[in-house]
Structure 1
């Protein structure tokens, strides 16, 4: 083992660094966390949860970024951190205190919303004002084209397994392309029951495992699409969505001069605009019976503020610097939390049959094809269009957006992913209502 690390960087094993921490010190910290986990005394505070998530994330992330094949085609450290967290729960290797502490951080404290708010703010303010309006006008049609492709190719795939169009749309298309479990499958199950198609639990028992498989497949395909972009660079904007401008995002010139106070102002901006989004989501009535999520309003408010030039450049720079730090240094931590709390290996294994695997693949592939084609017509790079308008529709939303963008190395596109998850997710509930009413009749 020591020779392996010497071969990697020319230093001794004990001098080798993980996450910039010398090996001897990292092992001490890891031993501390492992001991606390075994004694089931991980603190229930943010300190305990983040401490445990960092150790797990660093080990899984560093390993995933070095494994041959995995690092290039499967998802690298990001996906291994997510799966590592989920597998630790599956094999019951995390103590109750550790699971509860991480669950408290991710759900009760809702750290993932804070993380997403920071990334959305920085990514929106990194986009040139002149490009924003053009991009918004073309993006929704790209999402809708992805939905059409998913329904069409999914229905075609169903023919090979003797599944009717009704069955494909109800139990594959709607769960996979919907906005996750809480915001998607649960309200869909209520629509299912109210339409007289059967008990809500009947729909959920099929939908939840299928959408979980869709999430995992979307993450893997995110890494694959990123690799395709590296092989065929003309298809990729390397993080830029629009082809119509040579440079869609603000350059990093002068970013090294951003002050700590400017970074702090990024926190104020991210939290303030999210609260604005929450206010609008509460006072604006549902559209066609569907409530619009606070993140969707947040994206719109930030975009309008950017286009009108309301935000000083120093504050923009601080927000972008903050986004860069969160995306680059906290992604593995978040992925561990997503794996522990949101991804159930047991649910995935329960539906992992050849027919289900192929059906889920057909639905997602159809979404990718539709988004790529319409995205190109709308002036977007196919790689970025597929990642945001297709895979961020098929990934259960929210935490799935972070996981897919992490695997695709496109975390700066979180604002577009949120449009897919929130506005696109709302559209899916409308489609579910229409389809279930039609099928019930």
Structure 2
């Protein structure tokens, strides 16, 4: 009775609030991405005024505001493409529209300078990847995690081999020549992106074939860009297929068997406090720093080292359930709030539109599409054989043809499966390293 009376009093108080206040609250609940509509309008007005007065501050708060405004605007445009919003168009628009706008000088130079400086100086893409990897690894069941890492190697290996054969045959039949197709189109697509793939490949080709590295790099880059775009499109298509055939997908869970029920001592709290979330965040950053140290000491890519360390920590139960719950919240925050601003930064600062346009010939595009489709289709079929969810396996194999870490973010965003980031990093980093190393070793012996 007391609670009912208190509830009535509360309702009476709410009824005495001005009507305009309720209307305003409803407007505040309308969001562009994560930004409340009035805040969105205020952001546009403020940033525009800064640009027009010629003084856009270079501090971190301004950079975050610019990335959030532009990233979520592009994403909302992508989500409203008629008939295509379920096919990953939000990620595609958030990545490639900024690249086009920057190329055509439709974005203010001061905005571009702010985004470019912040992106390269802060390297915040790796903060994002660290948070996603650690959060998703710590949130997984241990046995599922271990079996998934072992089994994903099979579809990745078979898929890469089938894609290399198919791509080379198609390129040869279209008149590109088998050697050019293999070395300058097919292998760069699966080399792990630009920094870890195209650059070391171009250096190796330059020394082996006695060519200028810049010339070689310019030939490798278009294949990587277009293959990444193709993989993003296929990831969106796979997400749509998963909605139509739910028995083919685990919606971000790789194994087909249901995860075991957690034991009482493994119970993860649902609502961690702010201190626990902060502890999980600094844990993720620390593991990334350990990865950086491994890179300096052993030349192992930092994300790969961090991934293996996070898996080892999880398997050995070195992190308490409360920290695991905090890591899950960190993962959810970065996945929700940072993905599209990051894609906008990638589009403007790391995706040259001119490189995409330079490869727009029918034989090259057909070769790239056939290679990526073969990689994804093989992953789908082999995934079923090794008892993995075929759609999720196909998405991971698609990451093998993406633009490195940036491609992983875009592909998993398009497929709405960011929890697969640890497996995507295996495909991109380790698969790319094997591709680059194997290619250069064989060429050195043959040439």
- Whether TM-score is above 0.5 comes out as yes
Note if contact 1:146-1:366 (Cα within 8 Å) is conserved in structure 2: yes
Cα 1:144–1:29 change in 2 (3 A) is: same
Deviation at 1:409, TM superposition (A): 0.6
Structure 1: distance between partners of 2:81 and 2:302? 39
Deviation at 1:210, TM superposition (A): 1.7
Judge conservation of contact 1:161–1:355 (CA < 8 Å) in 2.
yes
- Which residue is equivalent to 1:111? 124
Larger radius of gyration: 2
Q: Is the 8 A contact 1:118 1:266 kept in 2?
A: no
Which residue number in structure 1 is paired with residue 330 of structure 2? Answer: 322
The 1:84/1:197 distance shift into structure 2, 3 A limit, reads: same
Q: State TM-score, norm by structure 1.
A: 0.89
What do residues 40-65 of structure 1 show as CA deviations (whole Å, max 9, x unaligned)? 43222221211111111222222322
Between the aligned partners of 1:89 and 1:112, the Cα distance in structure 2 is 20
Tell me by how many angstroms 1:293 deviates: 0.5
What is the deviation of 1:35?
2.8
Match of 1:136 in 2: 149
Distance in structure 2 (CA, Å) of the matches to 1:125 and 1:234? 26
Where does residue 101 of structure 1 map in the other structure? 114
Local SS of the residue matching 2:412: helix
Which moved further from structure 2: 140-149 or 411-420? 140-149
Structure 2 counterparts to residues 197-208 of structure 1, below 5 A: 198-208=211-221
CA–CA distance in structure 2, aligned partners of residues 72 and 37 of structure 1: 35
**Structure 2: stretches of 5+ with no match in the other structure:** 1-24
> Residues 212-239 of structure 1, C-alpha deviation per residue, up to 9 Å, x if partnerless?
1112222122111111211222221111
Shift of 1:129: 0.7
1:179 corresponds to which residue?
A: 192
Does structure 2 conserve the Cα–Cα contact (< 8 Å) formed by 1:90 and 1:344? yes
Contact 1:229–1:383, Cα closer than 8 Å, also in 2: yes
Q: Find the counterpart in structure 2 of residue 379 from structure 1.
A: 387
Aligned with 1:69: secondary structure? coil
The answer to whether the 8 A contact 2:202-2:217 is kept is: yes
Alignment of 1:60 onto 2:68: no
Q: Which of the residues 414, 437, 442 maps onto 1:430?
A: 437
CA contact (8 A) 1:49 1:105 kept: yes
Question: TM-score, with normalisation over the residues of structure 2?
Answer: 0.88
Q: Which moved more, 1:203-212 or 1:24-33?
A: 24-33
Worse-matched range after superposition: 346-355 or 155-164: 155-164
Instruction: Tell me, yes or no, if structure 1 residue 216 matches structure 2 residue 229.
Output: yes
Q: Is the 8 A contact 2:171 2:364 kept in 1?
A: no
Q: 1:367 aligns with which of 350, 370, 375?
A: 375
**TM alignment of 1:253-264, pairs within 5 A:** 256-264=270-278
On the 8 A contact 1:123/1:415 being kept in 2, the answer is yes
Tell me, in whole angstroms, the C-alpha distance in 2 between the residues paired with 1:154 and 1:379: 27
Distance 1:184 1:48 in 2: 33
Pick aligned residue for 2:176 from 163, 167, 180: 163
In the alignment, what sits opposite 2:32?
Answer: 18
Which shows bigger deviation, 53-62 or 263-272? 53-62
Task: Give the equivalent residue in structure 2 for 1:415.
Answer: 422
Cα-Cα RMSD: 2.4
8 Å CA contact retained: 1:65, 1:71? yes
1:41 aligns with 2:55: yes
Counterpart CA distance in 1 for 2:262 and 2:416 is: 16
SS in 1 for 2:86: helix
State the secondary structure of the residue aligned to 1:336: helix
Cα contact 1:143–1:371 (8 A) shared by 2: yes
Is 1:234 equivalent to 2:259 in the alignment? no
1:287 aligns with none
Distance 1:435 1:122 in 2: 38
C-alpha distance 268-24 of structure 1, shift in aligned 2 (>3 A)? closer
Would you say the 8 A contact 2:128–2:334 is kept in 1? yes
Equivalent of 2:339 in 299, 315, 331: 331
* CA–CA separation in structure 1 for the residues paired with 2:117 and 2:389: 39
2:360 to 349, 352, 369: 352
Q: Which runs of 5+ in 1 are unaligned?
A: 1-10, 285-290
Aligned to 2:10: none
